[in-house]
Every structure is written in C-alpha cells, then in structure tokens.
Chain A
C-alpha cells in the first residue's frame, strides 16, 4: 500500500474511531426503534393484538385526506412554535448578553432564571394550572385587578398566550445557558480591540459577537424549533389540548391516536409524517444558519 493510501486509510480509521461510538448509541436508542415503528405505520394495529395486519399506505391516505383534526393540530403547533422560537431566542439572547456583562450578582441571576428549567414540564403544567385558577383567584381577591379574572385557561382567545408564557418560562433558562456558553467563546481581545477603535456596545454586538456566536444561535433555533413542533408535556398537563381541541398539538394528537383510541399503526404513520416535516424544516434552517457561522 502506498504512503498516500495508508494515510487515507488511517484518516478513515480515525474518523470512524471518533464517530462510531456516538453513531452506535444513537442507532440503538433512537434510530432502530424508530424504524421498527415505521414498519408499524403500514399496519392496522391497536398496539396490543399479537397480530398486525398489513394495509400498505392506507394509514397515510387517511392522514392526508380524511383527518381534519390532525391538520388543525398541526396548524396550532406551527403557530405555537413560531411564537416560542422567536420569543425564547430573543429573550434568552438578550438576557445572556446582559448577564455576561459587568453587573453584580451574575451567578445568582443566572441560577434564578435557570431553575424553572430543572423542573419537569408535567409538574410545571400542574403548578401553572393551579396558579391560573386557584392562585389567580386569590390574587384577584387581594388586588381586585381584572386581569386575574380572565379565563386564562378557558378562553380560546387567551389560551395561546397562556401556553406560550408557561413554555417560555420553563425553557428560557436552557437557552440562556447555551447562549452564555457561546458568549464565553468570543475572544476578549477582539472586543477590547474594537473598544479601542471606538465601537459602541451595540456595534460590537452586531459586528463581532453575533457572527461569532452563530453556532449557538443555530443550535438554539434548531432545538427550539424541533421542540416546539414536538410540544407535548406542557400542553398535556396545562390544558390537555382543550378546551375542545383548540390547544391540541400534533404530538398530543399522535399520543391520543396511538394510546387512547388504540390506533397504533395510524398513530405511528402520523409521527412519521411529523418527523419528515420537522426534518425538512430543520435541514433548511441548519443549512441557512451554518453558512453564517464563522471560524476563528
């Protein structure tokens, strides 16, 4: 073997050495199970019967042609995702910048905003449900402010904001951590050099910091996008998709299809479609953002 060939072989070997562990883990925990489920999507199966009846593309046909509820849920999910991606990223980035600058008590503040993220969403849903109903009533009795008497979880017009608010409250800390880490990687000397050149803080941010933290932004937007599209826990415990089905997200619809109505095959077909939709949106998003990432 030539020297060049050997080098290439070594490179491939090293590449595999570094990447195979992750690949194996992800394969076992996610991708193989998912493919097994995909097989179920071509069957008529209630998730329990020992026999699965193969029905080809029937589930997919029904999904696209005869399931208005699913598309309504998808519409709601998109609206919620759009709102949450914008809100959480803007707030987290702003807060990260503020908490990265020279102010006192940074660590305490960072911890304060992060703590809600530590609590599981199911419990957060219950707590907020409690607050919106019993808590707000107590507030109203003590303050008399009308805002507390609005039907935060019952009025169809307001419930979107209630859900958005709770989900923002929970996830802000997570993205804050990521953005703060990203801000740490911006070399101090570049900032200092620009200050010497007379750049304002705002200018510094947009010309130096922002391009350098693009990787963090890519991660956060990607993560908040796919999390938004998969939203389940907060809806389940806060509103259970109600009133009626107005706050049913597509993940909740899938859960109900598979586990409440016992249409497991059909439910899996829906989740395959959901996955493909997320995949397409994410590929577009990652491609666009990655092009803007800058290396030092």
Chain B
C-alpha cells in the first residue's frame, strides 16, 4: 500500500502549478484562435468577446483539411514504421556486436544527426527526384526513414543494454532464425524505447515543414497540414486568427495520439522476463 506522503503531495501541487504556467502560451493560442483579427491585434491576453468558431471553419476549409490530413497521416505512418523497423534491427545488432567495425558503422549511421539539414537539402531533392519519391506523401515517408533512423538507432543501441544477453542465446537455442528471435523475444522487451521512438518520430514527421515544402510543393493535392497552416504566416502580415486556429487544428491529432500512447509505457517488463 503506497502512502501519499506530504512531500509527494506538495511536489504534485508544485508540478501542477508549473505545468499550468508552462502551458500558458498555448492557452493564449487557444483563446486567440477564437478572436477576430482586430481583437487579437488590440489585446492579446483578453478573452474573446464571443467565440468566433468561423476561424476554425475558415481555416479548415482554406487548409483543405481532410485531404491534407490523410496525406500527413500517410507520410507519418510510413515514415514511423520504417524507422522503427530498420533502427531496431540495426541498433540491436550493433550494440551486441562489440567489434571495432561495429563501432565505426555505428558512428557512420549516427553521424547524420550532426549534419545541418540546409546543407544537403537541395541535393536530397535531386536524389529524391531520381528515385521518383517526389510529389507524393508516400515518397516523403520513405525519405523520412533515413532521416529518423539515426536517432532511433542511437536509442535502441543504448536500450538493448538493459536486455540481458542470455536471452539472445536462449531464443537461438530454441532453433529460431535470428530475425524471428529478435522480433519475438527481444523486440517486445524494448517496448518503452519503441514507444518513445514512435512518439518522437510521429511528432516531428507530423509537424515537419521544410522537407515537405521542398518535395511536395509542386503538387497541390499532396500537401501536408503543416504546409497548409504555414501559409497563414506571411512575411509582412500574419493572419493571426486563422493562423492560431490552423495551428490548433494541426497539433490536435498529434496531442490525441500522444495521450493515447502514454499507457503503453509499462514498467518492469524486463524484470519479469529475467525472473523466468
């Protein structure tokens, strides 16, 4: 029976206050998304005089929401699945293989995290064009594999250390192929990391802007939500009322996704496996 001691309750209260303050900028986004343009420019922190739902309706229409939602979903899903697949395999193998070549390969595979995107994005567009990956959300998803794999691999590489090596051998002794052994025994134990990888990659792919801009902007029907929302932010003038509504419409699915995944982070799975 866990006691909720005083320090724990105090900590909870402080954390909640901190969280409220932390979310205040978003609160501003929410209330401003219900105001008219002139209301926003005259007083940012005031509450709206009436709830201007039209902002959302207009943003929804201008952004061509349903179509672009599907595009974004496709690109993100393909991207995330690919990243999880290739990175878990490679991260696991590189972590278990403790040779110099393995380390070099590891460094080569995580080096991309250090390369600024702007320095190779033009060439990437050229390569993507050659491989016919331009102009479709599916192609974008495939391009995401290489972009997300480095960090995911890094994370799997480290996480594998918490899985005892005996398990690898156990599975193999039972006569399974290495791939089978990995996916049936090891991979499930890496669930917390997998969830993190899924969350992290879903978020950045869902919100990614620059690469879709370069690769999809030639084809109106292939755009993503982020691209559509960004159009409200001009260099001269920002249509704040639509921009705020657009931003909320874009991040809402991502937030819901994150909330639904929270419960998959289960503690102590490894401990359970070791005991058997």
Contact = CB atoms under 8 A, between A and B. Distances in A.
Contacts of A282: 114
Interface in A86-112: 98-99, 101-105, 107-112
B22 A169 contact: yes
Contact of B16 (A109, A218, A229, A283): A109
B89 A258 contact: no
B219 interface: no
Contacts of A187: 268, 270-271, 274
A12 B23 CA distance: 51
Contact of A34 (B11, B120, B149): B120
Interface of B: 2, 4, 8-9, 11-12, 15-16, 19, 22-23, 25-26, 28-29, 41, 43-46, 82, 85-87, 89-94, 97, 102, 105, 107-124, 126-127, 131, 143-147, 149-151, 153-155, 157-159, 161-165, 178-179, 182, 192-193, 195-196, 199-200, 203, 206-209, 226, 229-230, 233, 238, 240, 243, 247, 251, 254-255, 258-259, 262-263, 265-268, 270-271, 274
B192 A184 contact: yes
A181 B265 contact: yes
Contacts, number: 286
A220 to B, nearest CB: 10
Determine chain B's interface SS by DSSP, over half rule. Answer: helix
A264 B119 CA distance: 9
Identify the interface centre among A15, A142, A181: most chain B CB within 10 Å of its CB.
Answer: A181
Given A33-B120, A122-B230, A181-B195, A218 B158 contact: yes
A251 B116 contact: yes
A174 B44 CA distance: 28
A40 B203 CA distance: 33
Contact of A185 (B15, B90, B270): B270
Given A19-B89, A187-B274, A218-B158, A37 B120 contact: yes
A45 B263 CA distance: 52
Nearest to A166: B25
Contacts of A163: none
A215 B161 contact: yes
Interface string A62-100: 000000000000000000000000000000000000110
Given A18-B89, A107-B262, A279-B111, A36 B120 contact: yes
A283 B122 CA distance: 27
A187 B275 CA distance: 11
Nearest to B5: A102
Interface stretch (A53-61, A127-135, A152-160): A127-135
Determine chain A's interface SS by DSSP, over half rule. Answer: helix
Q: What 4 A-B pairs have minimum CB-CB distances, sorted nearest first? A: A29-B146, A215-B158, A271-B119, A33-B123
A134 B30 CA distance: 16
9 contacts: A22-B86, A22-B149, A30-B147, A34-B123, A103-B4, A109-B19, A118-B255, A131-B25, A229-B114
B114 A279 contact: yes
Contacts of A296: 161-164, 270, 274
Identify the interface centre among A128, A222, A282, A296: most chain B CB within 10 Å of its CB.
Answer: A296
A22 B153 contact: yes
A103 B5 CA distance: 9
Contacts of A120: 207-209, 226
